[in-house]
């Protein structure tokens, strides 16, 4: 049995399911999923807790299953947050360098970061992540580590990701009511990206879409860094809802039909139409149903992808994404979705599976578990490179937050692997 220090747990509380992963960090730093528990999630809507008793019950069930199968009992875990309340601020902060010879010292960087970190948010907001995008000296940008360089002015660009206190507290309380300490809170879009994107994609430019049941989490990466994130409160549930209304069948049946028969690839639709005319032996009703299904599902997914594209376009990133779109989340299993995404975005698209993580095939071979796998991967980075966020004020105080934050900054500056 591995020691407690090497064990790591993550809970992905999604709109449709809760997944608990208990992992182990191997000697070669590879993460291995030892056990998992995944159950239907009740009490969540569009990524938000709407019934805390129900969400806590689902969390308890999923933890119980994971614990039973590895015989390892957890008292703390990393958890994900999402929802349309998530937002970000990108800002530059600058200081003059007054040292002899205008050489940037470690203390200058610390001073700059502590100023940059003082962003003005109302008490209704929580800062979830503070991510350094780049440093700049005088007019030269894209500096990774400015210590030792000579300059008049030192600047830093920071992406601060924050959300509303109330929905975040509701997730925290659901987990605490299950007697689990929260080790940290991680943005789900960041976790999914951590799971499915390659370092090359993050460097060149890529759009990650995690289309779940109730939300679509979006992250854009450029020059190795996240530059944009967005949560659209629409996911696969709405597709099933449309099928349910369109075909006048119960939601559960619509879910089943969607998973078995829906296909949003235009080639599939063309084939259906051709076959219908030529092959008289084919069941006409079945073909007509498939065509109807195509048009219902295609309309909804097209609308969803177009909304995302417009959002990314509004920030001016759409023309610098050579690696295209990576789709993950349960709805990535929808047949033909990468073909439709290629058409809408006019870019290459692929399905994103969890990468560089060992574990049961049903987890690591299914995009539905990307967030959970990414939570484990990101959790490992946080554990090893110190805690740099400040969501839990009390916890932060206990651990000497500012000291840890600075420590983390220097570790990431020195460590290229932290991406």
Ligand X SMILES: Nc1ncnc2c1ncn2[C@@H]1O[C@H](COP(=O)(O)OP(=O)(O)OP(=O)(O)O)[C@@H](O)[C@H]1O
- Answer for the pair 301, 337: CB distance below 8 angstroms, yes or no: yes
At 342, list the tokens.
């290629």
Helices (H) and strands (E) in the chain, counts: 14, 16
The angle at the Cα of 68, spanning 28 to 76, to the nearest 5 degrees, equals: 60
**Within 13 Å and on the Cβ side, how many CA atoms surround 51?**
10
Please state at what angle helix 106-116 crosses helix 401-414, rounded to 10 degrees.
120
**Least Cβ distance, residue 14 to ligand X (angstroms):** 2
Q: How far is the CB of 269 from ligand X (least distance, A)?
A: 16
Per CB under 6 A, 258 contacts ligand X: yes
Count CB atoms within 10 A of the CB of residue 188: 30
Residues binding ligand X: number (CB under 6 A): 22
Q: Which does 237 bind (CB under 5 to 8 A by kind): ligand X, Mg ion, none?
A: ligand X
Q: Cβ-count burial of 294 within 10 angstroms (0-12 exposed, 13-18 middle, 19+ buried)?
A: buried
Under rule CB under 5 A, residue 352 binds Mg ion: no
Nearer to ligand X, 45 or 224 (CB): 45
Give least dist CB 332 to ligand X, A: 8
Binder of residue 214, out of ligand X, Mg ion, none (CB less than 5 to 8 A by kind): ligand X
For residue 163, give Cα distances in angstroms to 84, 119, 181.
9, 14, 20
The site partner of 374 among Mg ion, ligand X, none (C-beta below 5 to 8 Å per kind) is none
Is there binding between residue 212 and Mg ion (CB under 5 A)?
yes
Round to the nearest angstrom and report the end-to-end CA distance of the chain.
30
Q: Considering only residues 357-386, where is the footprint of Mg ion by CB under 5 A? A: 371
Nearer to Mg ion, 231 or 318 (CB): 231
Site string for Mg ion, 159-198 (x = CB under 5 A): ----------------------------------------
Cα dihedral 286, 292, 296, 298 sign: positive
* Closest distance to ligand X from the beta carbon of 34 (Å): 21
Q: Which does 157 bind (CB under 5 to 8 A by kind): Mg ion, ligand X, none?
A: none
The DSSP letter of residue 385 is S
* 23 contact choice in ligand X, Mg ion, none (CB below 5 to 8 Å, kind-dependent): none
Which residues are bridge partners to 136 per DSSP? 155
Q: Does 340 engage in binding with ligand X (CB under 6 A)?
A: no
CB 342, min distance to ligand X, A: 18
Positions touching ligand X (CB under 6 A) are 14-17, 47, 212-215, 235-237, 240, 255, 258-259, 329-331, 333-334, 368
């Amino acid at each position: 049995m591995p020691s407690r220090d090497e064990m790591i747990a993550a809970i992905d509380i999604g709109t449709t399911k809760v997944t608990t992963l208990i992992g182990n960090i191997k000697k070669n730093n590879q993460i291995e999923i030892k056990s998992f528990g995944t159950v239907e999630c009740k009490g969540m809507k569009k990524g938000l807790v709407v019934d805390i008793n129900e969400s806590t019950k689902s969390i308890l069930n999923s933890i119980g299953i994971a614990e039973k199968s590895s015989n390892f009992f957890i008292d703390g875990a990393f958890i994900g947050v999402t929802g349309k309340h998530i937002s970000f601020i990108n800002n530059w902060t600058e200081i003059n360098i007054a040292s002899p010879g205008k050489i940037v010292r470690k203390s200058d960087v610390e001073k700059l970061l502590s100023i940059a970190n003082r962003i003005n948010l109302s008490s209704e907001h929580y800062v979830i992540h503070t991510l350094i995008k780049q440093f700049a000296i005088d007019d030269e940008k894209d500096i990774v580590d400015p210590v030792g360089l000579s300059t008049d002015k030192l600047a830093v660009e920071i992406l601060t990701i924050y959300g509303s206190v109330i929905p975040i507290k509701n997730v925290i309380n659901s987990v605490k009511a299950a007697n689990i300490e929260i080790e940290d809170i991680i943005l789900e879009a960041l976790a999914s990206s951590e799971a499915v994107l390659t370092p090359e994609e993050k460097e060149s430019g890529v759009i990650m879409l995690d289309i779940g049941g109730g939300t679509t989490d979006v992250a854009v990466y450029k020059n190795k860094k996240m530059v944009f994130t967005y949560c659209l409160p629409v996911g696969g549930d709405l597709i099933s809802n449309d099928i349910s209304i369109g075909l006048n069948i119960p939601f559960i049946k619509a879910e089943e039909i969607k998973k078995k028969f829906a296909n949003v690839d235009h080639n599939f639709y063309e084939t259906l139409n051709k076959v219908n005319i030529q092959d008289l032996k084919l069941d006409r009703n079945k073909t007509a149903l498939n065509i109807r299904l195509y048009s219902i599902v295609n309309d909804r997914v097209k609308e969803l992808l177009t909304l995302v594209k417009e959002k990314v376009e509004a920030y001016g990133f759409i023309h610098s994404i050579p690696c295209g779109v990576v789709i993950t989340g349960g709805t990535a299993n929808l047949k033909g979705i990468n073909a439709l995404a290629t058409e809408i975005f006019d870019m290459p698209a692929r399905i994103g599976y969890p990468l560089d993580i060992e574990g049961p095939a049903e987890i690591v071979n299914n995009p539905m578990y990307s967030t959970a796998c990414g939570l484990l991967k990101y959790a490992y980075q946080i554990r090893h490179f110190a805690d740099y966020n400040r969501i839990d004020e009390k916890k932060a105080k206990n651990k000497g937050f500012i000291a840890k934050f600075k420590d983390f900054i220097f570790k990431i500056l020195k460590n290229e692997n932290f991406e």
